[in-house]
Chain A
Amino acid sequence: MTAEMMSRIGEFLIAIIVLLGALLGALSAFGLVRLPDVYMRSHAATKSATLGVLMILAGAFLYFAFYLDHISVKLLLGIVFVFITGPVAGHLNGRAAYRSGVSLWEGSVHDDLKPVLRREREQLQAGKAESGEKIKDV
């Protein structure tokens, strides 16, 4: 009786976790469609999609551990890998977008990176003119 009840409760909790992860994925796709800018869209797509995948993989791990008697180390490895690489990929993409000149939304009010980048470019130009050798573009 109690074992059956425990099994029922565990199943319910795992189903809740998986459903919450799927809803987070849908939320990130909604933000990807609705937001007006590359940078805001990357904010929506990177974080909530990663969290949704983490929740679904954690639910799968718990399901395997409780109902199939199988501790899946590969699933743990997948959780760690997605947790590390999701934000890194989002960061690389946003950096490439800014440096290749994708413009901000016209309602944006503040841009901290622009003066820094301009100063860096000026220093690079001056150094190139001074030494005469080819310096790789940062």
Chain B
Amino acid sequence: MINGILIASLIILSLAILACLYRLIKGPSMNDRIMSLDTIGILLLSIIAVLCMLFRTSVYVDIILLIGILTFIGTTALARYIERGDVIDR
């Protein structure tokens, strides 16, 4: 039973990523695109968690941490670049 529900939640998360792609392409300002990329990263992370449960293995847990950290760093760097024009203060 749990396999069916896991596959259903995979489908729901994929549709959510598709909706975020709409906002990523259309979004009027740059910050819309940054936010949409952030949400895509977070949804991708949860897709990988569902895949871990579906395959009954725990080797993909490292990838969850990696995607979380990369999403946060990317969002922070892009927001700082939009706000003040450079990423690292000098």
Interface residues of A (CB under 8 A from B): 11-12, 14-15, 18-19, 21-23, 25-26, 28-30, 32-33, 38, 41-42, 45-46, 49-50, 52-53, 56-57, 59-60, 63-64, 67-68, 70, 72, 74-75, 77-78, 81-82, 85-86, 88-90, 92-97, 99-100, 102, 137
Contacts and interface: CB of A to CB of B under 8 A. Distances in A.
Residues of B contacting A: mostly: helix
A92 B1 contact: no
Residues of A contacting B: mostly: helix
Interface string B14-54: 01110110110000011110111011001101100110110
Given A11-B1, A25-B12, A95-B83, A41 B32 contact: yes
A60 B49 contact: yes
Contacts of B17: 29
A28 B38 CA distance: 12
Contacts of B5: 15, 18-19
A20 to B, nearest CB: 9
